[in-house]
């Protein structure tokens, strides 16, 4: 007998959080609706008042947690027309700090895990999150090239070169549970940025 019942407004959010935790720990199939329910503080049947099925819960989860990275990204890209180098640094810092939060990294992890079984989820995520972010990044780089701040690199290549390392680091630490090579999270950003900007840097005019 829960002391407080009747809080239908907060419930969906609580359930989604519980589901994300269980799905991440045990995988979609292995996670039991009952455990999700318990974790969210209601009964198994209660979950079905808010979500049609386990699969619907999964999809709602992805949807809900598809963070407004898109907005942030394009905001950054726009703001970055003025100073591409600084904007790239800022962008990297945001990515790294978000990737460090297990709650946030959990969603892309789940998407990757389930891409075989639910290709439509992978597609959805790619289109609505990754592609947006990638486009923003490419625009940022293209602006830098246009302004003469960067060498005449192909923005597509440079964007991959830029985002890849952070992506790898996230996998390495969170999924493969490898130890990070950096004592301070910012250290990675600094070092990486330094290296990358070097690669992008326009030749000093003679």
Partner DNA sequence: TATGAATGAGTCTTCATTCAT
Partner DNA sequence: AATGAATGAAGACTCATTCAT
Residues engaged in binding DNA (CB under 7 A): 2, 5-8, 11, 30-34, 42-46, 48-49, 52-55
Q: What is the pattern of x (binds a copy of itself, CB under 8 A) and - over residues 164-193? A: xxxxxx-xx--xxxx--x------x--xx-
DSSP per-residue codes, 63-75 = HHHS-THHHHHHH
Shortest approach of DNA to residue 28 CB, angstroms?
Answer: 9
Distance CA 89, CA 137 (A): 11
Distance CA 192, CA 196 (A): 6
Distances (CA, A) of 4 to 1, 19, 46, 179: 9, 21, 15, 42
Binding of residue 161 to a copy of itself (CB under 8 A): yes
Give whichever of 28 and 91 is closer to DNA, judged by the CB atom: 28
Shortest approach of DNA to residue 46 CB, angstroms?
Answer: 3
Shortest approach of a copy of itself to residue 160 CB, angstroms?
Answer: 5
Distance CA 20, CA 10 (A): 16
Q: DSSP secondary-structure letter at 201?
A: B
- The interface partner of residue 58, options being a copy of itself, DNA, none and the CB cut-off 5 to 8 Å by kind, is none
Shortest approach of a copy of itself to residue 1 CB, angstroms?
Answer: 18
Q: What is the pattern of x (binds a copy of itself, CB under 8 A) and - over residues 81-110? A: ----------------------------x-
Shortest approach of a copy of itself to residue 15 CB, angstroms?
Answer: 19
Binding of residue 117 to a copy of itself (CB under 8 A): yes
DSSP per-residue codes, 113-160 = HHTTT-HHHHHHHIIIIIHHHHHHHHHHHHHHHHHTSB-S--HHHHHH
């Amino acid at each position: 007998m829960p002391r407080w019942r009747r809080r239908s407004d907060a419930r969906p959010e609580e359930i989604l959080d519980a589901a994300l935790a269980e799905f991440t720990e045990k995988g979609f199939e292995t996670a039991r609706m009952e455990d999700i329910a318990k974790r969210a503080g209601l009964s198994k049947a209660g979950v079905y008042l808010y979500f049609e099925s386990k699969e619907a819960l999964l999809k709602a989860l992805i949807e809900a947690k598809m963070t407004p990275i898109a907005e942030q990204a394009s905001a950054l890209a726009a703001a970055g027309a003025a100073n591409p180098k600084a904007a790239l640094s800022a962008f990297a810092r945001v990515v790294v700090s978000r990737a460090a939060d297990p709650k946030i990294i959990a969603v892309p992890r789940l998407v990757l895990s389930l891409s075989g079984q639910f290709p439509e989820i992978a597609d959805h995520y790619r289109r609505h999150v990754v592609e947006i972010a990638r486009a923003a990044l490419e625009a940022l780089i293209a602006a830098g090239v246009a302004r003469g701040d960067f060498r005449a690199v192909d923005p597509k290549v440079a964007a991959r070169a830029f985002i890849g390392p952070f992506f790898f680091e996230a996998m390495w630490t969170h999924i493969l549970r490898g130890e990070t090579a950096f004592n301070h999270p910012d250290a990675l950003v600094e070092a990486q940025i330094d290296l990358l900007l070097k690669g992008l840097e326009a030749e000093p005019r003679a």
